Every structure is written in structure tokens, then in C-alpha cells.
Amino acid sequence: LDVRKDGFLPNHIPHKFEAGTPPIAEIVGLGAAVEYLEGLGMDRVREHEVSLTAYALRTLEERYGSELAVHGPSEPACRGGVLSMSFQDIHPHDLSQVLDDRGVCVRAGHHCAKPLMRHLGVAATTRASLYVYNDTSDVDALADALDVAGEFFAR
């Protein structure tokens, strides 16, 4: 590529189709993330995820029973640390706003999975994710915020 004040001349094929600067920062970041996880040990990461997911499923079941649908396998070892949930009478976007106001970070919507939402019979869900940086206090904060949402929406 030759760039001048009055115009430019593109490279010839195939060089003119090259994407430009590769995502160097992202590559370095990915390498650092891989090193971090290798340092923790992926078996330990999975063990923590399963344990925390089991705690979350148990806590939500004890507090809400059938009022709160937590979609996916009930066996923690058969799922990842993602809790996709819905109340029948609270829209997921409204629920996520109340949770956000309580400092609990979640996502709401169809999560780019509309066929799955149709299969589940819901328009959207509220999704919380658990990983190595979370612990049981985060699950408790989620459950407490769900209590506030229930009170707010006069359930």
C-alpha cells in the first residue's frame, strides 16, 4: 500500500486482502489467561465450578422451589457454572435491573439462543455465571438480590 496526500495505491493481490495489524494485545492476553489457568490446574478449576454450582442450585431450590426455574441439568457435574433462570411473573430484563441495583452482575435476554428459548418455552432468561473468582458469598448475594426482586415486584 502506498499512501500519499493526494491518494493511495493499493497492494496487488493477494497482499491487498490482508487484514492489517493482528490482534496482538488479545493474543498476549489469551496467553496470560492460559498461564493463569494452568497455574491453578484445570482439575481444580472444574472442581470449584462444580462445587459452587451445586451450592447455587441447592440454595436457589431451598429458597424458591418451583417459583424459580433454573434451566439445564439438575446434576452439577453435568453442567457448567452458568445459571439460566426465570420467574414466571418477572420479566428477565426487569429482574436483571433489580439485581444490578444490588451489585449482582447478570445478563438477560435470549443469549443468542432463540431456538433454545423456544424449546424451554420462555422468551428470555436471566443468566448468572460462576467461575474461579466467585465463591459462596456471591451465590448468597444473588439469592438475597432475588429476594429483593420478589419483594419489589410484590410476588
Q: What pLDDT digit, counting tens, does each position of 46-93 carry?
A: 999 999 999 999 999 999 999 999 999 999 999 999 999 999 899 999
Q: Is the dihedral of CA 44, 46, 49, 51 positive or negative?
A: negative
- Predicted confidence at residue 155, as pLDDT, reads 59
- Structurally, at CATH architecture level, domain 38-152 sits in Alpha-Beta Complex (3.90)
Contact between 83 and 127 under an 8 Å Cβ cutoff? The reply is yes
Position of cell 451450592? 55
Set of cell numbers at residue 133: 473468582
Residue 112 bears catalytic tag: yes
What are the structural domain ranges in the chain? 38-152
Its pTM stands at 0.83
Set of cell numbers at residue 35: 498461564
Position of cell 465450578? 49
Q: Which of 9, 19, 25, 112 is catalytic?
A: 112
Within 4-128, residue ranges assigned H as helices are 24-40, 42-64, 92-101, 114-120
- Predicted confidence at residue 129, as pLDDT, reads 98
